């Protein structure tokens, strides 16, 4: 299929960016979206032009490196999938595809379609860990964990930290990401010990970095490639409220 691409080009973080139109021909419906961009970049390099910079790493949907806001949706038109796993069969011959970087104050553009997502790392550094060694793999059933909690914690831990939730949210809120990270610890005994301190520190950092407030539009859940549930946000709200009310330490 032949396509027109409208891509955000920005030479550096400080430079002023603009949209540039490109034509690509003979793209297979079986190609992934990033392979399509690879083809474009090869043609640009052949012409001596600067290739389009975009983040990617594993290309199997588990690393969280790829991003791209495609035709108004993070990770493109498919549900529950990252850009690298999204295939060109989602598009029609002759279509114009608008490709933008994630847009949020805490996600500044580095170059073209690459954004700096280290603000997510800062949130993790603020409390997204267990601060003592909990040892190796415990013997089965030596620490009783309800099956339901194990499942919920695992679902929350599926978050790959790609930032699609922030990109999709009309408020650029990071609540889905932060709540997934809070939940994966709060649901398990090893993480429970520091849960009250953790939620307060992580929320404080999230606010400080300039992410928006959650208004429960649930666009994050709709666009999350790992389909993280907004019930995690409610859990974080509960954790936060109870920590503020009963915790010995408040931040």
Partner 1 sequence: MGNSLAYSSITKKIIMSLAGLFLISFLLVHLGINLLILFDKTYESFNMAAHFMATNPLIQVFQWVLFIGFIIHIIYGIIVQIQNWSARPVKYMKKGYSELSYFSKFMIHTGVVVFIFLIIHFANFFIVAKFGHVEEITYKSGTYENMGAVVFETFKIGWYVVFYVLALLLLGFHLEHGIQSAFQSLGFNHWRYTPVIKIIGTLFSILITLGFLAIPLVIYFT
Return residues touching partner 1 (CB under 8 A): 6, 19, 69, 71-73, 98, 100, 103-106, 168, 170-173, 175, 203-204, 206-207, 210-219, 221-223, 230-231, 233-241, 244
Q: Name the nearest CA neighbour of 185 among 204, 175, 199.
A: 199
What CA–CA distances, in Å, run from 141 to 137, 147, 157?
Answer: 11, 11, 21
Q: CA distances (Å), 16 to each of 8, 11, 99, 115, 161, in order?
A: 11, 8, 17, 15, 27
Distance (Å, rounded) from C-alpha 58 to C-alpha 54? 13
- CB-nearer residue toward partner 1: 69 or 177: 69
Task: Give the nearest distance from C-beta 185 to partner 1 in angstroms.
Answer: 17
Q: Which is nearer to partner 1, 237 or 247 (CB)?
A: 237
Query: Minimum Å distance from CB 156 to partner 1?
Result: 13
Residue 69 in tokens: 């806001």
Q: How far is the CB of 98 from partner 1 (least distance, A)?
A: 5
CA 235 to chain centre: 19
Token digits for 89? 């069969």
Closer Cβ to partner 1, 96 or 134, answer by number: 96
| Minimum CB distance to partner 1 smaller for 89 or for 238 | 238
Least distance between partner 1 and beta carbon 42 (Å): 26
């Amino acid at each position: 299929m032949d396509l027109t691409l409208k891509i955000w080009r920005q030479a550096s973080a400080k430079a002023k960016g603009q949209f540039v139109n490109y034509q690509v021909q003979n793209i297979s419906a079986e190609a992934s979206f990033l392979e399509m961009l690879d083809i474009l970049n090869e043609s640009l390099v052949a012409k001596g032009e600067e290739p389009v910079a975009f983040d990617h790493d594993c290309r199997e949907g588990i690393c969280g490196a790829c991003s791209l806001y495609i035709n108004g949706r993070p990770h493109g038109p498919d549900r529950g999938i990252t850009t690298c796993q999204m295939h060109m069969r989602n598009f029609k011959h002759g279509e114009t595809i608008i490709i933008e970087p994630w847009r949020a104050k805490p996600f500044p553009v580095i170059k073209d379609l690459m954004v700096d997502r280290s603000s997510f790392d800062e949130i993790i550094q603020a409390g997204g860990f267990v601060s003592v060694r909990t040892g190796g793999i415990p013997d089965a059933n030596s620490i009783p964990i309800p099956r339901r909690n194990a499942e919920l914690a695992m679902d929350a831990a599926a978050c790959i930290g790609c930032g699609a939730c922030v990109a999709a949210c009309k408020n650029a809120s990071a609540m889905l990401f932060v709540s997934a990270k809070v939940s994966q610890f709060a649901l398990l005994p090893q993480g429970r010990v520091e849960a009250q301190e953790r939620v307060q520190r992580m929320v404080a950092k999230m606010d400080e970095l300039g992410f928006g407030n959650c208004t429960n539009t649930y666009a994050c859940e709709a666009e999350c490639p790992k389909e993280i549930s907004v019930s995690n946000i409610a859990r974080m709200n509960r954790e936060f409220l109870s920590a503020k009310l009963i915790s010995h330490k408040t931040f």
